[in-house]
Structure 1
Amino acid sequence: MDNFASVFIDWVERFGLDAALTQFRGTFPDDQIDEWVAEYERLVEGVKIGYPPKILSAPGLKDWYPGPLPHHKRWPAFRAALTRLSDDAMDKLDESTSRIVAHTYSPDTPKYLTKGLVVGYVQSGKTTSFTGVAAKAADIGYKLVIVLSGIHNGLRRQTQERLQTELVDTAGEGAWFPLTDETKDFYEPPATFAAHQGGDRTLLIIAKKQKDVLARLLNWLTKASKTGSLANVPVLVIDDEADQASVETAKINPQIRALLKLLTRGTYIGYTATPFANVLIDPSVPDDLYPETFILNLPEPAGYFGAERIFGRDALEGEYSGPTLDGYDMVREVPDSTVAKIRPVGKGAEVGFVPTVTKELGDALRYFVLATAARRHRGDIDHSTMLVHTGMKTAIHFAYQGPLQKFFKNLAVEVESGDANALRELKSLWDAETKRVPASLFPGLSPVSFDELVDYLPDVLERVKVVVDNFRSRDRLTYSGAEPEVAVAVGGNTLSRGLTLEGLIVSFFVRSANTYDTLLQMGRWFGFRGGYEDLPRIWMTKRLKSDFRHLATVEAEIRLDIARYEQQNLSPREVGVRIRTHPVLNVTAKMGAYRIAYASYGGRRVQTRYFRENDATWLHNNRKAAVELVTTAVAEGVQVDRPAEGTVILRDVDAEQVLDFLNAYNVHEDSPDLDPRLVTAYIGKENRRAQPSLLSWNVALMGEPIVDDEHAVDFGASIRLGTIERSLIEGTGGDRADIKTLMSKDHRVVDMDITPSEARKKSEGALVDLRNASVEHADTGLLLLYPIARDSKPDPANAATRVAMDAVEHVIGMALVFPGNAEDTVRNRYVQVDTSGVDTSEYDEISEALEVDQEPEMS
């Protein structure tokens, strides 16, 4: 694929096909663009993660919900109020919320309890989704909607305000009856539950997940249950941030379960962006909160900035691995050597701590002012926020307020006085940042020069304020004033879960975490950045950046698994969602009924991507292992083919020689799929099957024609090849040099009678089938060895996100292609819930009961 094709596909995946066509038409010939469109369609052939939303659902449930009907009033009113959404976004919200409602039990079913889970993205519009579900549920007869909204007052208040504005106020008098408001959480009302019933209205409660609040709610509903007034009343419970407090807690989890036990007709839907704890709940415990009815993926909305867009991610099996997976160049590194100056290290170190405004923190603060000024130049006068999150302790947060206020005061004086050095420093920073992330990457954005924004700096500096937001602070961050906020928010947990930071541009984030869910939820920078997509920046440590990239891969893999399971008509109780593990991070603190998952290498291709570029012994041993394999194979008389200059294939190499190579080859510890113990165990099992496989291997040496002696690698047996180029992802190197992608899709069949161009036109699945259908290759493994130039340079198309390799010697990359879809499995580094003890017979009864089609009563 040429560089321009990669750039075109990158645009399609980020902004949609129409935007890409608009951008490229007129610059390139139409027939060239048509070829790129066809290439993109081939690349995405197969399982797609998009609309309609992918779902795992219990067997027997029918899509009974017809969608909004003419006489419904809450959903149409809510829809009309969402003027901020485009028509396309609104249609997708309508479709996804209808699909959620359709996979609950119909409210006229005599007795039911739906338990579902909706998986969204951090800061991606989950509140809008569950508000739409609540509107549709009320329109079809639900008389009570309870929203369990996080564990902090700020999030509960923010949710209450949203639902009051978009749900209650829009639907007209008598449609909703709120029992909570912006200032007051749930307290038992003077009137009984029965007294609130009657007419068309639906009760609405937004309650914090706190034991005293839930105790009051339980007490009120228990009284209603004992009097019979709760019987047969359809009740919807929406659990926002469903992985927080709801799972495996001594108090909150039993309270939620007790609430659901009171309901004759109940629907419980959890919403979360970090579902790790939820999908590891023990499904064999009947009254726990495992989402046994459905698990639904909310696709990434258009214009959303998530972990993948910012940090990039690894390509998944069978997926195109183009530049879109590198992420934008928005992350700036905070050296480990400076962390102690901005976050006290050690027990009790926060006492008397005074933070230093290091170069990196100073750059972040200056850039925040510059970016806010650029937004003002573009006519955007909305809220503008910076997040400073360096630790959990409140003493640290308060320690920052004075130094940050002093920094902005001094900067304001310098700008007002026209200080040449200060202005030169600001201009240099702005020019460097706008070069790394040009506005031209985003449709509709125009670049802003320093000269254009400089006049806005005094006003921004006059308005900027430093707000400490934690559970001890009195001056909390709010956006309800008459004037737009320009605020630097310093805080911890209250800013790291659910609460939306309006207009967040800059994040200075060095707080560590040891679980996936905690780390992802801290990413307040995820969300929508309409009109300033080029401006967000994050300062963090190199390790945190790597962790977030891993989490982006985990997220994508979970969603892909759900999509694949849906195609196989599997239910949540039949299969556990796999979660890829990490060498250091824990998946979640609430591991529930997890077990080590197993996965087959059958039909897969795995490849090295990490190297120790400064470890001469490590690299030399890998080269030595390759030479010994080639020399031994040729000495034993294997067939040697040269299908193209720079490519050599050794055919019918004995499995024992391949195993010897794998045991000698050094694999980086961050490549669990290539752990030699796992791979060799799998090959050994295949060799011992009743109908053995992988006894014979083809070994492909994937080099280039030799251009000079310096860039040539001797494999022994008179085989000498030129090196290939594989540059590094920017910010990596040393002990973890990362090339991301080693092999191309067509390399999967390099030892077969098909040209590379023809192979690239086929989908990954088609290439698997092609290999399995071949008598010669159906049981034959393929090992590929790549001589990588020690000084590999970036391709010009990726120069912004890549750097040159600087290894002490040429690197030997390795990939493996396995035939078939082997039934035997090997241990792989995933966890998933154990569903082996789950009794699914009840679903047979449900399925039979629902065989008779019934039209639900619509109120």
Structure 2
Amino acid sequence: MVAELAMQKMFIEQLLDKKLVDGLSPQKAVPLLREDLPPEMHPTLDEIVEERQHRSAEWAETVRVVEGGGSTAELDPGRNWYYPPKGGGLRWTRLKAQMAGGGLADAVDSIDRSTNATVKELAQPFTNERRRGIVIGNVQSGKTANYAALAAKALDAGYRFVLVLSGIHNNLRTQTQERLNRDLGVEAHSDEWGTLTTPLHDLDLAEVKNARFSVSGLSGKRKMMAVMKKNSSRLDHLLEFFDQLDERTLRDTPILIIDDESDQATPDSSRAKKDVETDPTVINKKMRQVWAKVKNGTYVGYTATPFANVFMDPKPHGVEGLESLYPRDFIHVMPTPKNYFGAERLFGIDEGMIDTEGAAGLDVVRRIPVDELPMLAPAKSAEADTFVPEVTESLKDAVKWFVVASAIRRLRGQTGKHSSMLIHTTHRTKPHQAMRDQLLAFLEPLKKDARNGDVSAFQKIFDNEEGRVASLYTGSADAPTWPVLQHEIVNVLRVLEVVVDNGEEDPEDRIVYNDDRPRTAIVIGGGTLSRGLTLEGLFVSYFTRTSNAYDTLLQMGRWFGYRPGYEDLQRIWLAEGLETDYQFLAAVESEMRSEIRRLASEGLTPDDIGVKIRRHPGRLQITSATKMPLAEQVEFTFQGYRTQTAIFDFSDPAVQEANTATVVTLLRSLEGYRVKTGGLAASSHLYKDVPFASIKAFFEAFSVHERYRETHREALKWVDAKLPDLPWRVVLAGGSRGPVFQGEEFVVPSVNRAPLRAVEDQSINIRALMRGGDRVADLVLEGSEEAGGLKTDIARMALRLKPADEGGAGGQGVLVLYPIALDSTPQNQREAAESGRTSMRDVLSGLGLGHLADSGTPLMGYGVVMPSDIAGKLEADGDFMSLVIARSNVEDDDGE
């Protein structure tokens, strides 16, 4: 009997799930199934409904079971209407199996969980609900896989029409259409689908005018899909399509709009604040007109750089009073997979910007010398047509490494995989052709020598680069040797292509990847390669183009992503300063994602409070000023700002000697402020209540690397203007070994800080000087047990802000001085391998200064935590940008 009831229950659940898959809402599916079942099975159906109600309270709110009939639910203020079918749903089950067998096996569970959470935020099908939100991914992190899963689940749950707006470039639209056709089974199960677009054809008038096809497609059981460019004429066609649908069809058609790269073209970029009310940009206006046609559905933006989206005007605006596409209802952050290489993992994180110690970065970044830049791109647009670039020494190295690394991939059994190199030096198209010609001329003699069995030109780059980050490799192949590799280099040169991909190239000449024909290609481009389009198997990038905007810089980083089986081969050649920019942006991203998660955990939406984005203290803008006219500065201040010296210029060693003398002078002048925490030979020393005048004199005398000068100068200026009367604390930090640093009043052992192998412009880079606990080093020296036990910088900063009589620092700034041993070495082999560190002696020797390692005189650096105004005397003037949400400024809930 028990087994029979279990079988009956399974049978009824399958019938219920089938009705949900066919597009019926729970409100309609349950009563209809009750009519189909014999009365003796009704109790089992009730049991199933009760179980689902119990497991999802909102399901209970939305399902109204009426004996003998059903009812249509109105807008339900609760969420979680979505109840994942036990069998997974028809389309999601297919897609999940395809993902598991197609290289995404490790990501399926994460995608499943992430999209379940997003589906629950969508508008409930077959109601009058309309919702808007955004999903934040990472650049090149698999957003398409995520929104394909979202679409599959939404269709299984009752949505009828999926509209994907796929950027502004033809190649990206085609790539997306092909991917979704495969992922959603559009071609394999064509009887289940009606489509308005194909890989070869975007939405056109002929399809739009086929009104019979349009109406029958949306009124029957078939699902509909379109993948379109965000193009003015295409959006006009879409509006005409909607105009041909009657009101009832629109009302009964839950529509999911997925706006891929939603920060591109979608935001209103009217040039002045006063224009926003009356003159939104063309694409923005038409997008909002499309949204106005939707009676029941969801707009979901997908982007890795949501800065412009969170600064949209949240009010209806424009002459027509059209609703905004501001993501008022939800923001979701996609999880970052462990095997993803993003800005934080590749470049490290700017620790001075946020409350985290961050990552150290990887030894995969190479610098392009400043004197090569004029040879790589025209300085002015007027010179673009006649500019002839050169294959500089660093570009030669990059190309040679690409050839060597491609050969290594072949030895690892990856001959059937695509291998790509990106060259992005300018957005202007004419120099792309010239660069191709120059590269072909450079490669020709190398290919000729290879045909004669000579590949010796590649051995130096092999010796310099192979094995630098070997610990990243997740495969099992043996490390390559030069004798074995030579034959494969010949094979790589035989198939190597140089391709230009930009908006002016003929479609047949641009880069297209086909699994049946693996390509080994150097791809030269600009705008089309800086957003959306995926370069398959990209692992070498050569990049000089800079930008002043966060979103543009991040999107241009096509080297972010996954490198399965060739993680250790990736290399990035960058122009001076870009690495520092990406370290800062890694901090901004981390901070933004943490804040969004915090707001979500508190039940807050973008309709309640704006997302804050940290400003750059220098030249970088968050996004185009035209896209954020309503954003306001909030809390701009150097309060609590942490900075440090981690790069040291040895072009003139006398500068570092002078810095050591400056430190000795300061400490001698502070002897009267020293707290007796130990004898002269204590491991560290503390000085309290130091006048800011002494600190200011020290900063003005100490010479820092040019990379820090502007920020340190601005921070000093801020303290001098805002908090000149607040005393400071000074710590002389000692290590546990190494040469001692001593004066008449102190003796401390030097600290160990191993430098990076890569030497840039006669400078030594130790990446990070301060350790996590150093933020409260003064409190630890005072004997604070609380300070010594803190594990996060957030907690440490909170303690600094406590009044002194409560065990805190009273907001006082702290200057931590570090004598760094010039014979410092990596702590272990893993640190040396993964972060590219080596001994200080080796780096100094490479600079011709090896004798300094035996001098016994340390290198002096410092870290600073700026003071804070705990008395509340200062007026905040904006460290972040945010929309200040006023309830009177956003749409009412009525009708949404």
What TM-score comes out, normalization by structure 1 length? 0.80
- Partner residue of 2:243 out of 194, 197, 222: 222
Contact 1:68 1:75 in 2 (8 A): no
Counterpart in the other structure of 2:299: 268
- Structure 1 window deviating more from structure 2 (344-353 vs 449-458): it is 344-353
Counterpart in the other structure of 1:640: 676
Counterpart in the other structure of 1:353: 387
For residues 684-713 of structure 1, what are the alpha-carbon distances to aligned partners after superposition, in whole Å with 9 as ceiling and x for unaligned? Answer: 7xx8xxxxxxx66554322358976xx635
Counterpart in the other structure of 2:51: none
- Partner residue of 1:299 out of 335, 348, 354: 335
- Structure 1 window deviating more from structure 2 (193-202 vs 134-143): it is 193-202
The separation in 1 between residues aligned to 2:258 and 2:871, in whole angstroms, is 41
- Once the 2 structures are TM-superposed, how far is the Cα of residue 813 of structure 1 from its aligned partner? 0.9
The separation in 2 between residues aligned to 1:530 and 1:390, in whole angstroms, is 27
The separation in 1 between residues aligned to 2:874 and 2:85, in whole angstroms, is 46
- Once the 2 structures are TM-superposed, how far is the Cα of residue 670 of structure 1 from its aligned partner? 5.3
Contact 2:642 2:863 in 1 (8 A): no
- Partner residue of 2:211 out of 191, 203, 212: 191
Contact 1:333 1:539 in 2 (8 A): yes
The separation in 1 between residues aligned to 2:410 and 2:462, in whole angstroms, is 15
For residues 112-162 of structure 1, what are the alpha-carbon distances to aligned partners after superposition, in whole Å with 9 as ceiling and x for unaligned? Answer: 2x1111111111100011111111111111111110001010000000000
Counterpart in the other structure of 2:170: 153
Counterpart in the other structure of 1:691: none
Map 1:498-537 → 2, pairs under 5 A = 498-537=532-571
- Once the 2 structures are TM-superposed, how far is the Cα of residue 405 of structure 1 from its aligned partner? 2.6
- Structure 1 window deviating more from structure 2 (760-769 vs 579-588): it is 760-769
Counterpart in the other structure of 1:340: 374
- Once the 2 structures are TM-superposed, how far is the Cα of residue 314 of structure 1 from its aligned partner? 2.0
Q: Which runs of 5+ in 2 are unaligned?
A: 1-75, 270-280, 318-322
Q: Are the structure 2 counterparts of residues 742 and 415 from structure 1 closer, same or farther at C-alpha, using a change threshold of 3 Å?
A: same
- Partner residue of 1:832 out of 870, 881, 886: 881
- Partner residue of 1:288 out of 300, 324, 343: 324
Map 1:524-563 → 2, pairs under 5 A = 524-563=558-597
Contact 2:135 2:301 in 1 (8 A): yes
1:751 and 2:786 aligned:
no
1:241 and 2:261 aligned:
yes
Equivalent AA in structure 2 for residue 239 of structure 1: D
Contact 1:578 1:597 in 2 (8 A): no
- Once the 2 structures are TM-superposed, how far is the Cα of residue 177 of structure 1 from its aligned partner? 1.8
Counterpart in the other structure of 2:741: 712
Contact 1:777 1:819 in 2 (8 A): no
Name the larger-Rg structure: 2
Counterpart in the other structure of 1:210: 231
1:593 and 2:630 aligned:
yes
What TM-score comes out, normalization by structure 2 length? 0.77
Contact 1:682 1:826 in 2 (8 A): no
Q: Are the structure 2 counterparts of residues 814 and 377 from structure 1 closer, same or farther at C-alpha, using a change threshold of 3 Å?
A: closer
Contact 2:687 2:729 in 1 (8 A): yes
Contact 2:737 2:749 in 1 (8 A): yes
Q: Which has the higher contact order (CA 8 A, sep 6+)?
A: 1
Q: Are the structure 2 counterparts of residues 828 and 552 from structure 1 closer, same or farther at C-alpha, using a change threshold of 3 Å?
A: farther
Equivalent AA in structure 1 for residue 510 of structure 2: R
Equivalent AA in structure 2 for residue 295 of structure 1: I
- Partner residue of 1:415 out of 450, 457, 462: 450
Contact 1:610 1:671 in 2 (8 A): no
Q: Are the structure 2 counterparts of residues 593 and 406 from structure 1 closer, same or farther at C-alpha, using a change threshold of 3 Å?
A: same
The separation in 2 between residues aligned to 1:822 and 1:167, in whole angstroms, is 59
Equivalent AA in structure 1 for residue 150 of structure 2: V
Q: Are the structure 2 counterparts of residues 557 and 454 from structure 1 closer, same or farther at C-alpha, using a change threshold of 3 Å?
A: same
The separation in 2 between residues aligned to 1:793 and 1:241, in whole angstroms, is 46
The separation in 1 between residues aligned to 2:407 and 2:485, in whole angstroms, is 6
Q: Are the structure 2 counterparts of residues 330 and 118 from structure 1 closer, same or farther at C-alpha, using a change threshold of 3 Å?
A: same
For residues 322-346 of structure 1, what are the alpha-carbon distances to aligned partners after superposition, in whole Å with 9 as ceiling and x for unaligned? Answer: 7xx2322222222121222232333
Contact 1:245 1:253 in 2 (8 A): yes
Contact 2:161 2:223 in 1 (8 A): yes
Contact 2:432 2:524 in 1 (8 A): yes
Contact 1:130 1:238 in 2 (8 A): yes
Percent identical pairs in the alignment equals 33
Contact 1:516 1:586 in 2 (8 A): yes
Counterpart in the other structure of 2:68: none
What secondary structure is seen at the aligned counterpart in 1 of 2:245?
Answer: helix
- Once the 2 structures are TM-superposed, how far is the Cα of residue 658 of structure 1 from its aligned partner? 6.3
Q: Are the structure 2 counterparts of residues 490 and 720 from structure 1 closer, same or farther at C-alpha, using a change threshold of 3 Å?
A: same
Q: Are the structure 2 counterparts of residues 449 and 278 from structure 1 closer, same or farther at C-alpha, using a change threshold of 3 Å?
A: same
Going by fraction, where is strand more abundant, 1 or 2?
1
- Once the 2 structures are TM-superposed, how far is the Cα of residue 281 of structure 1 from its aligned partner? 1.6
Counterpart in the other structure of 1:434: 466
- Once the 2 structures are TM-superposed, how far is the Cα of residue 790 of structure 1 from its aligned partner? 8.2
Map 1:69-108 → 2, pairs under 5 A = 69-70=86-87, 72-82=89-99, 83-108=101-126
1:777 and 2:807 aligned:
yes
Q: Are the structure 2 counterparts of residues 586 and 615 from structure 1 closer, same or farther at C-alpha, using a change threshold of 3 Å?
A: farther
- Structure 1 window deviating more from structure 2 (720-729 vs 445-454): it is 720-729
For residues 508-550 of structure 1, what are the alpha-carbon distances to aligned partners after superposition, in whole Å with 9 as ceiling and x for unaligned? Answer: 2222333222222222222211111111122222223332333
What secondary structure is seen at the aligned counterpart in 1 of 2:423?
Answer: strand
The separation in 1 between residues aligned to 2:883 and 2:807, in whole angstroms, is 36
Q: Are the structure 2 counterparts of residues 678 and 408 from structure 1 closer, same or farther at C-alpha, using a change threshold of 3 Å?
A: same
The separation in 2 between residues aligned to 1:469 and 1:177, in whole angstroms, is 32
Contact 1:115 1:291 in 2 (8 A): yes
The separation in 1 between residues aligned to 2:692 and 2:437, in whole angstroms, is 67
Contact 2:467 2:568 in 1 (8 A): no
Counterpart in the other structure of 1:255: 286
The separation in 2 between residues aligned to 1:486 and 1:563, in whole angstroms, is 41
- Once the 2 structures are TM-superposed, how far is the Cα of residue 566 of structure 1 from its aligned partner? 3.2
Contact 1:698 1:751 in 2 (8 A): no
What secondary structure is seen at the aligned counterpart in 1 of 2:546?
Answer: coil
Contact 2:419 2:536 in 1 (8 A): yes
For residues 340-374 of structure 1, what are the alpha-carbon distances to aligned partners after superposition, in whole Å with 9 as ceiling and x for unaligned? Answer: 22323334323333332222222222222221111
Map 1:302-381 → 2, pairs under 5 A = 302-315=338-351, 321=357, 325-381=359-415
Q: Are the structure 2 counterparts of residues 385 and 661 from structure 1 closer, same or farther at C-alpha, using a change threshold of 3 Å?
A: closer
Counterpart in the other structure of 2:65: none
The separation in 2 between residues aligned to 1:744 and 1:524, in whole angstroms, is 32
Counterpart in the other structure of 1:35: none
- Once the 2 structures are TM-superposed, how far is the Cα of residue 93 of structure 1 from its aligned partner? 0.2
Contact 1:126 1:271 in 2 (8 A): yes
Q: Which runs of 5+ in 1 are unaligned?
A: 1-58, 688-694, 851-859
Equivalent AA in structure 2 for residue 592 of structure 1: P
Contact 1:706 1:712 in 2 (8 A): no
Q: Are the structure 2 counterparts of residues 283 and 614 from structure 1 closer, same or farther at C-alpha, using a change threshold of 3 Å?
A: farther
- Once the 2 structures are TM-superposed, how far is the Cα of residue 491 of structure 1 from its aligned partner? 1.8
Equivalent AA in structure 1 for residue 346 of structure 2: I
- Structure 1 window deviating more from structure 2 (626-635 vs 202-211): it is 626-635
- Structure 1 window deviating more from structure 2 (274-283 vs 564-573): it is 564-573
The separation in 2 between residues aligned to 1:756 and 1:317, in whole angstroms, is 26
- Partner residue of 1:166 out of 179, 183, 197: 183
* Count of residue correspondences: 768
Counterpart in the other structure of 1:144: 161
Q: Are the structure 2 counterparts of residues 148 and 86 from structure 1 closer, same or farther at C-alpha, using a change threshold of 3 Å?
A: closer
- Once the 2 structures are TM-superposed, how far is the Cα of residue 269 of structure 1 from its aligned partner? 0.7
Equivalent AA in structure 1 for residue 255 of structure 2: V
Equivalent AA in structure 1 for residue 860 of structure 2: V
For residues 428-447 of structure 1, what are the alpha-carbon distances to aligned partners after superposition, in whole Å with 9 as ceiling and x for unaligned? Answer: 21121113222565464532
Counterpart in the other structure of 1:398: 433
The separation in 2 between residues aligned to 1:568 and 1:318, in whole angstroms, is 21
For residues 706-725 of structure 1, what are the alpha-carbon distances to aligned partners after superposition, in whole Å with 9 as ceiling and x for unaligned? Answer: 976xx6354x7x34545434
Counterpart in the other structure of 1:39: none
The separation in 2 between residues aligned to 1:106 and 1:85, in whole angstroms, is 32
1:815 and 2:864 aligned:
yes
